[in-house]
């Protein structure tokens, strides 16, 4: 089932997400729905807060990239914890499904080490670099309640203020389903 993607301005996007229990019965359904939702929106990644759930869960799909490693990067990250960031700070124009039509340069370290559980609750500790490390850091930020616009200078933030306000009011033209602040939603996952 395709779920509406939460728009900028919803408090759930600013919250630090909670860990998921291994016993959470609906995990498989939730991951399936998130995959379908991400695909429909042509997303490179999707974090649970973006569908209104404050869970430490995100998924990735780098198939839109030419980069060989990114292309095959379809993963599920549960209860993720980045334990190390190193390497050069690299800038890249990032977008976010919760903030349509805004792309901003975000500088991030090129290399990370992350601990996480996969969808079968197997534990992993892995190192990632390049685009894949960037995708992970963007989605991991969602789990921490951080958005790409939080990296902007005060000046740039002022320039974008009106557009961000418009997004939070639903004045956006997107071809995927969104949910705007104040709109009530029923979810089987809460």
Enumerate binding residues for Ni ion (CB under 5 A).
Answer: 96
Counting Cβ atoms within 10 Å, is residue 90 exposed (0-12), middle (13-18) or buried (19+)? middle
Query: Is 36 annotated in the active site?
Result: no
Any idea which residue has 């705007």 for tokens? 180
Residue 43 Cβ vs Ni ion, minimum distance, rounded to whole Å: 8
CB-wise, 121 or 144, nearer to Ni ion? 144
Beta bridge partners of 84: 113
CB-wise, 54 or 121, nearer to Ni ion? 54
CB-wise, 70 or 96, nearer to Ni ion? 96
Total residues belonging to the chain: 190
Helix (H, G, I), strand (E, B) or coil at 172: coil
Task: List Cβ neighbours of 38 (8 Å cut-off, separation of 6 or more).
Answer: 45, 46, 59, 61, 97
Select which of 75, 94, 104, 139 is catalytic: 139
Residue 182 Cβ vs Ni ion, minimum distance, rounded to whole Å: 21
Q: Which residue's CB atom is positioned nearest to Ni ion?
A: 96
Catalytic positions: 139
């Amino acid at each position: 089932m395709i779920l509406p993607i939460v728009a900028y301005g919803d408090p759930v996007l600013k919250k630090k997400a909670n860990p998921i229990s291994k016993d959470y019965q609906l995990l498989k359904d939730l991951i399936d729905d998130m995959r379908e939702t991400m695909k429909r929106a042509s997303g490179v990644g999707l974090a649970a807060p973006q569908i209104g759930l404050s869970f430490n869960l995100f998924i990735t799909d780098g198939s839109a990239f030419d980069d060989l490693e990114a292309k095959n990067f379809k993963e599920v990250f549960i209860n993720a914890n980045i334990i190390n960031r190193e390497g050069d700070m690299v800038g890249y124009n990032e977008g976010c499904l919760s903030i349509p039509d805004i792309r901003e340069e975000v500088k991030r370290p090129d290399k990370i080490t992350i601990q996480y559980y996969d969808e079968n609750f197997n534990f992993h500790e892995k190192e990632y670099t390049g685009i894949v490390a960037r995708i992970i850091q963007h989605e991991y930020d969602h789990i921490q309640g951080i958005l790409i616009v939080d990296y902007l200078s005060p000046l740039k933030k002022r320039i974008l203020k009106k557009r961000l306000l418009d997004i939070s009011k639903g004045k956006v033209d997107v071809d995927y389903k969104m949910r705007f602040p104040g709109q009530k939603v029923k979810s089987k996952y809460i």
